[in-house]
Amino acid sequence: MSVLQNRSNRAEEILQGRFIQKKMEETSREIQKTQDQTMSSFKSSFWNDRTFSVSNGELTYKHDKRNRFVDMRTRTSKNGTKQPKKARIVHNKIIWGQYNFLVRELAFGYTEAAKNEIKSLEGKQ
């Protein structure tokens, strides 16, 4: 491989990395916004301890373990009986819906138009 070919490949990898970073940041903001809207009536402070971070092509979502089980339809009481509870779409439906959208975006969204957009944004900075 020539030096020019190496540079071209490296530039393509950088553009791809920026595209992935941008899409993951957009997804994290969308998840945060959707969950905030859904949980606006929640009074407890433990709902506020949610964080998103994007680095090195990895989207990390940290939350209290109790948040994970809010959208389950039944609760088992201490005496072992199942009790129905109000369905709240807070975790699974939002997270997995956005995850599936992100996978499609990363698989099919990296087009010439996306490359040109990233290049134009790079020139403005």
Give the domain extent around 70. Answer: 3-124
pLDDT computed for residue 12 by the predictor? 84
Coil vs helix vs strand at 71: coil
pLDDT computed for residue 1 by the predictor? 65
Give the phi and the psi of residue 99 in degrees, each rounded to 5: -60, -45
Amino acid at 81: T
pLDDT at 75 over 80: no
Q: List, in order, residues 6 or more apart from 90 with CB less than 8 Å away.
A: 35, 38, 39, 67, 70, 71
Give the phi and the psi of residue 54 in degrees, each rounded to 5: -125, 120
State the average pLDDT for the chain.
83
pLDDT at 125 over 70: no
Residues 68-94 have a mean pLDDT of 78
Q: Which among 32, 34, 25 is positioned nearest to 49, based on CA atoms?
A: 32
| pTM recorded for the entire structure | 0.75
Domain count, the chain: 1
Quote the CA–CA distance of 11 and 64 in Å, as a whole number. Answer: 39
pLDDT computed for residue 27 by the predictor? 94
Q: List, in order, residues 6 or more apart from 93 with CB less than 8 Å away.
A: 71
Chain segment 3-31, per-residue pLDDT in tens: 877 877 888 888 888 899 999 999 999 99
- pLDDT-derived band at 67 (thresholds 50, 70, 90) equals confident
pLDDT at 124 over 70: no
